[in-house]
Chain A
Amino acid sequence: MSAIANRYEFVYLFEVTNGNPNGDPDAGNLPRLDPETNQGLVTDVCLKRKIRNYVALEKSDAEGKPEQSYVIYMQEKAVLNQQHEQAWKACEIPPDAKNGYKKLPADTAKAKSLTDWMCSNFFDVRAFGAVMTTGVNCGQVRGPIQLAFATSIDPIIPLEVSITRMAVTTEKEAEEQSGDNRTMGRKHIIPYGLYRAHGFISAKLAERTGFSEDDLALLWRALENMFEHDRSAARGEMAARKLIVFKHEHPMGNAPAHKLFDLVKVARTEGEADTPARSFADYQISIDRDGLPAGVSVQEYL
């Protein structure tokens, strides 16, 4: 598979309704907030996790066995752990990469063949890179895709929702409540938030990892659909709303990334300025196509 030959930048807009898009472990799982502006944040790694999960779902059969060359290296435990354990034993590979095998192959060609093999087999290594202790290249593969933190368009107001459970965990608790058996819990939600993320895809780094046109199409599919397969009690209703892709003719690019991002404006619909946004209809998205630099084309998904 030949690598992509164009540089890309993309603006990705997604929304959350009555949910928590990304909890902050520092703040008791409250939605992440930018303390200076009160805008909501979603980290780059949070979005990458969802892309990986989507690819794992799309590219695996009914038993969870991944299709060739679309294996995910950095897996979440939920994916059929037991089967994997059997495979580990069959291959006689120690269960933890940290134990032993710390020596680097001194031979550059050998190190390169390892890297190439990883790239051709694992989607996430090909797309995002991975730190490998292969000695060359400071021991890492840099992937072509780079994501930045997603920020909400408007400040968000997290709500704390108290909930009750009509059961207790231990008998001791039950005794203390003399059979009342109720516990309180908390959920943190954002009533509504529209988030904007920026991404970069380098054609030159894609050459090195072999990130192909098929992979690119898969990435766009993942961004379009990943929230559809990530439902949970905490997330509420999340949905991808818009994916605007800037394609450069030249592999090095035809215009500065920040100027392209500036072409995409997200504003409140007229007459709604001081009311809280509660749905996607409260926003309008405009792309300044007249200001598009020569050699750059726009593709819109969703």
Chain B
Amino acid sequence: MAYGIRLLVWGERACFTRPEMKVERVSYDVITPSAARGILEAIHWKPAICWVVDRIHVLKPIRFESIRRNEVGGKLSAASVGKAMKAGRTDGLIALADEDRQQRAATVLRDVSYVIEAHFELTARADASDSEGKHLDIFNRRARKGQYFHAPCLGVREFPASFELIEPDDVLPAVPADLRGERELGWMLHDIDFANDMTPHFFRAVMRDGVIEVPALRSEGVKA
């Protein structure tokens, strides 16, 4: 863990959608390693590096809230865009929000705060100009100043994440009393393997005194 970082993230609401309940979204109890990686990548990422989440600290009690919203069902089709391009006009290319409306409830987390412990590894696309020190410096500098590539979010973009770098000498915030002890969180999404046709990988998340150890993506105990 020579190149490890610790990032404190928090926000008013969060929705780390369970894949089995994604029509009417229900959030996992805690942030997934995949969402944590997304937050790190929002601050700094290059094709030369790959973030690996090692540990997640849960700092606030797990509470839920339900929100129902009007959403649209359809997605934009590439073929109709192509047609409209050929025709050179946009007037046919619309989605009518009223005709394609769905009401969906989301069960989201309230008042969350996590510490993400992670490190990165250099990928095959790293060249001579990429060193671990360089990318670590960039990340730390940005995180310290509050800079980002795009605003990081807690699962979905309407729930922005605030973040702060925890310096190596800083002590971690205390875990609240009701998260002490051991809690099984069941099978949870680890990450999606984009190299292999977007295969989702799952792991058994166990929270011990508020800390979830995240196994490596290709290790035993992580099922595709």
What is the interface of chain A, defined by CB distance below 8 A to chain B?
A: 7, 24-26, 32, 34-36, 41, 43-45, 49, 65-66, 68, 71-78, 81, 83-84, 87-88, 90-94, 96-98, 100-105, 111, 113-114, 117-118, 121-122, 130-135, 139, 142, 144, 146-149, 151, 198, 200, 202, 204-205, 250, 252-259
Contacts and interface: CB of A to CB of B under 8 A. Distances in A.
B40 to A, nearest CB: 15
B69 A254 contact: no
A250 B71 CA distance: 35
B99 interface: yes
A131 B77 CA distance: 9
A253 B148 contact: yes
A55 to B, nearest CB: 14
B66 A26 contact: yes
B83 interface: yes
Given A74-B72, A75-B97, A114-B81, A252 B142 contact: yes
Contacts of A130: 76
B84 A91 contact: yes
A91 B97 contact: no
Q: How large is the interface on B (under 10, 10 to 19, 20 to 34, 35 or more residues)?
A: 35 or more
B83 A254 contact: no
Contact of B91 (A87, A104, A139): A87
B79 A101 contact: yes
7 contacts: A24-B68, A49-B97, A73-B93, A77-B96, A91-B87, A205-B149, A254-B145
Interface stretch (B112-120, B150-158, B174-182, B211-219): B150-158
Interface of B: 12-13, 65-85, 87, 89-100, 103, 105, 110, 142, 145-151, 153, 157-160, 162-164
B92 A256 contact: no
Nearest to A96: B74
A101 B147 contact: no
